[in-house]
Amino acid sequence: MKKHLLLWLLYLLPFALCAQVVDTTAQVAPQEQTIAYRYVNASSLTLRALPSASAVALAKIDGAGRVTVLAERPDGWSKVQVDTYLGFVKSEYLVAQQQDVTAETIDWSSVEASGGEAYAQVSAVDVRAPQVTLARPVVRKAAPKASAGPRVYICNNGRTEVYHSSEDCSAMRRCTYTTKVASTGEARGLGLRECMKCY
């Protein structure tokens, strides 16, 4: 194959020189051929950290997804790269062309919609967390002490020393400022005491 290519190049060389156009495609082509794409021929394929069925699973590659084969090993595993993952998959589930994929579970319309031949859907397998849902402990919120006690009313004039049991208190009705509603605990926390009139 290489010999053929070389002969072709030698044959084409005079034409190329005459035309004074350097066609770079002939030089680039051999490099492109070193990139070997393969397609997942299964509903999904597990990418593992090591070439072993018992090795840690890193990710699941969806069927018809494209992987870049870095090495095809004699033990039946291929070292592949897909998305940001690097790992090993069983070579028997890889085919050379996407059109060779025969797995029946593939949703071809979504493959077509998300990249076609460049389609590569990968989902991470979380190896750290066990698949157990832990029940969250119920944290009972303790009511803050300040809100303890019944509601009281405070004239918001900034200088009052008392709190009232009702807004209807005659002293409270003279208040020309806004009314602050608080709990007895809050009012006491502010250093206020009970109004002599309404208590």
Can you give the binding site for Zn ion, defined by CB under 5 A?
A: 164, 169, 171, 195, 197-198
Q: Which is nearer to Zn ion, 101 or 172 (CB)?
A: 172
Q: φ and ψ at 164, to 5 degrees?
A: -115, 150
Structure tokens at 140: 């009972």
CB of 196 to Zn ion, least distance (A): 7
Q: Which is nearer to Zn ion, 57 or 171 (CB)?
A: 171
Does residue 105 contact residue 66 with C-beta atoms inside 8 Å? no
Q: Which is nearer to Zn ion, 89 or 198 (CB)?
A: 198
Structure tokens at 63: 């069927």
CB of 145 to Zn ion, least distance (A): 24
Does residue 5 contact residue 31 with C-beta atoms inside 8 Å? no
Q: Which is nearer to Zn ion, 38 or 164 (CB)?
A: 164
Torsion angle of the four alpha carbons 109, 112, 114, 115, in this order, in degrees rounded to the nearest 10: 170
CB of 194 to Zn ion, least distance (A): 8
Measured from the Cβ of residue 179, the count of other Cβ atoms closer than 10 Å reads 13
Residue environment code for 72-87, b if the CB has 16+ CB neighbours within 10 A, otherwise e: eeeeebbbbebeebeb
CB of 189 to Zn ion, least distance (A): 19
